Amino acid sequence: MLSEEHQWLAAQVRDFADEVVAPASYEYDTKRELPMGIIAQMGELGLFGLPIPREYGGQGKDYMSLCVAVEQLARVDQSIAVTLEAGLGLGAMPILTFGTTAQKERHLPALARGQELAAFGLTEAEAGSDAGGTRTTARLEGGQWVIDGTKQFITNSGTPITSLVTVTAVTGQRQRADGRTTPELTSIIVPTDTPGFTALPSYDKMGWHTSDTHPLLLENVRVPEENLLGERGRGFSNFLAILDQGRVALAALCVGAAQGCLEQAVEYAKRRVVFDKPLGDNQHIAFTIARMQARVSGARALMHEAARRLDAGMPFSQEASLAKLVSSEAAVANARDACQIWGGNGFLNENVVARHYRDSRVLEVGEGSTEVQLAIIAKHLGFDKALVG
């Protein structure tokens, strides 16, 4: 059960989503354009500063508050929801979690106000689930990091207000106990106005049309040595910690998408008359919608438990993966069922259920695929060997 404060926040964001985001959603989806005016309003509402401490210009709320906001936005527009989720979970949180005091004071206030956005540059052509495949390199030269490489599928990396990307790069090799060497991964803050940094043209995506997503090119990019984020060589463990946090917020997005599909199915089944009776009087339709409700309730409970443990400082990696796994599958299944219930009208892009059908597919891939979540859960159950191959 959410606290009264969380319930109040949910109501406020729900109203904003229904009154501001939803009416504009189809227009911007068609334009494939991130509505910067709506993003600015979200900043004014304090949404981008929810879990950021007040000393850095944020709201000083818990991570559950971010999840509550993301869920309500995702009901009507996943692209807007992921802009918030990634802007905080992958953009600001690495700086808040691993940054120096100077880095926090420099970057967090503008991020918390939604005046700037940050991105997390991890994924490459050969490095996503397998971060060991990272090919981007960084070397120290004259007090500067010199970075060369490419990144792909980077959310919020090319908006008019994107100010920085935290990039993971190979900064050397480390000797293992068994004598083998492994890449030393390090995280480095790269301002987007740095010469040599280029956000290449955005992708032509199946869904999330208004979410800003680009491949990145870094050619002889030079940033000060103090742009190191966290300890040198700790980039791998740090990004795992950030992804665990991010999965909780992405699970909230999945829950919101599943809830949005449920609401649309209920509304249509009560309104649509077929053979002189409401569609919902058909037992199969009623049972389908009941199963949709069951998926939402189960996914939300897992997401809340993961967020609760995160806020309490308890281990939450397994809970985050459980929440991400179940909620992403719930979103995909509910989108399919909602489209089926809406029939031909559910095939029209102007209908939010059609957009959910397109958008939800990526939820089983982004921030750790279904297979990655299963591997993490299996590892927690003691089946480490099952992960090989």
The reported pTM is: 0.95
Q: Of residues 85, 329, 364, 367, which has the active-site annotation?
A: 367
In the chain, helix, strand, coil percent, each to 5? 55, 20, 25
Residue 176, SS3 per DSSP: coil
What local confidence, expressed as pLDDT, does residue 129 receive?
A: 67
Q: Is 33 a catalytic residue?
A: no
Contacts of 130 (CB under 8 A, 6+ apart): none
User: Does residue 180 come out as left (phi exceeding 0), alpha (psi in the -120 to 50 range) or beta?
Assistant: beta
Backbone angles phi, psi at 81, to 5 degrees: -65, -40
Structure tokens at 232: 């040198």
| CA distance to 16, 104, 119, per residue, from 89 (Å) | 21, 15, 9
Domains assigned to the chain: 4-117 (1.10.540.10), 118-233 (2.40.110.10), 237-387 (1.20.140.10)
What local confidence, expressed as pLDDT, does residue 384 receive?
A: 81
Task: Going residue by residue through the chain, which has 389 residues, state the pLDDT in tens, using 9 for 90 and above.
Answer: 899 999 999 999 999 999 999 999 999 999 999 999 999 999 999 999 999 999 999 999 999 999 999 999 999 999 999 999 999 999 999 999 999 999 999 999 999 999 999 999 999 988 776 767 889 999 999 999 999 999 999 999 999 999 999 999 999 988 777 767 788 999 999 999 999 999 999 999 999 999 999 999 999 999 999 999 999 988 888 888 898 999 999 999 999 999 999 999 999 999 999 999 999 999 999 999 999 999 999 999 999 999 999 999 999 999 999 999 999 999 999 999 999 999 999 999 999 999 999 999 999 998 889 999 999 999 999 998 766 54
Beta carbons of 62 and 245 less than 8 angstroms apart: no
Contacts of 333 (CB under 8 A, 6+ apart): 258, 292, 295
Cα dihedral 14/11/249/326 (nearest 10):
-80
